[in-house]
Each structure stands twice: as C-alpha cells, then as structure tokens.
Amino acid sequence: MNTDTHCLCGLELHYQDCCRLYHEGEKIPATAEILMRSRFTAYAMQKGDYLIETWTSSKRPEQINFEKEDAQWQRLEIINTKKGQVKDSRGIVEFKAYFLSKGEASVMNEISRFTKTGGRWFYLDGQVKSVGLINKSHNQGKNAACSCGSGKNLNAAVGNNFVSFENNNSFSMRCNQFF
C-alpha cells in the first residue's frame, strides 16, 4: 500500500497517520469501531499477525492463511455502532466492505462483535448479513454466495460457526469473511 494514499479504513487520513499506528503498536484502538477499521485495513494488507493479536483469545486461530485470498479490498463503510466506546466493555459494529473479485465490484455486509479485556478492544466474532455484486440484488444471510469464489454459499462454505479451520488448526480466510 502506498502510504501517501488515504487509508483503506475509510477515514480521511493517510495510512501512515492512521492504521499504521495501530498495526505497528504505536497506538491501541480506543473504540470497537477504530479496532474494526484497523482490522479491515490489516486484512486488506494481509497483516495476519495484527489480526491474530486483536482477536479475543477464546476464539483466536493459531495463524491466518491468505494463500487463496483473491479479493482486492477497496474500502470500508461503517453502517452502525452499538456501544463499543471508551467506557464500554462490549460493542457491535455493522459495516460494508467493498472489494473486487474476478474484476467484479462486490460488497459484503457484516455485523461484528467486540469485547474489551484489560483495557483493550478485541474482535470476538461476526455474522455476514449479505454478499453480492454492487448494483445487483444482494443474496441475504448464510445462503449468500461466499465471496471467496468457491461457488459455495456461506452456509456450505463455513457452516453455522462462520469460522473455518484447516486440519492443522490454522485459520483459513478462503470461506470466512471476518476481519
């Protein structure tokens, strides 16, 4: 990523003045929304260490595999937040993540949950509401097509848990749309 361009997280700041500060440990996200923004940018930049570090320990994978990731993540739009502020211990962030896959502009709408432990925010889990091509009708919920390109719907791709683990207990992002 060119650090002279605006950060992918959607704030009108350059990456070097925005999410880089979180990715490099210079700052700690003060709210669930800021953590969501920094995790989206980390995912787009394939910064697996940051994603694992900011995942709650009870659900944290051992590693993240980006080998089969073909989406080019473009931008993040925060739709709504519930709690997740400095004085809260839990928060919910609904967002839309825009991406290109096989040359087609698509969007994924997800609701993510966050928890604060020891004064730090962590990603808990998320649920995909819809995935679809932009300017076309969106397939809703777990029956939506998985954006990984597998041809499976989300229910078949990731099942009821919305989390996929490979046989070596490493997290695969191929059929999982979490940031």
**pLDDT tens digits, residue range 129-139?**
999 998 765 45
- Which residues are within 8 A (CB) of 58 and not within 5 positions of it... i.e. 6 or more apart? none
Q: How many Å from the N-terminal Cα to the C-terminal Cα in the chain?
A: 18
Place of tokens 């995912």: 43
Dist. CA 96–CA 71, nearest whole Å: 14
**Structure-token pair, residue 27:** 């700052």
Question: How crowded is the C-beta side of 88, counted as CA atoms within 13 Å?
Answer: 17
- Which residues are within 8 A (CB) of 24 and not within 5 positions of it... i.e. 6 or more apart? none
Q: Which domains does the chain have, with CATH numbers?
A: 15-172 (3.10.450.50)
**pLDDT confidence tier of residue 41, bands split at 50, 70 and 90:** very high
Q: What pLDDT sits at residue 177?
A: 39
Q: Is 76 helix (H, G, I), strand (E, B) or coil?
A: strand
**pLDDT tens digits, residue range 87-105?**
999 999 999 999 999 899 9
Q: What pLDDT sits at residue 113?
A: 98
**pLDDT tens digits, residue range 44-59?**
999 999 999 999 999 9
Asked if 8 contacts 76 with a C-beta cutoff of 8 angstroms, the reply is yes
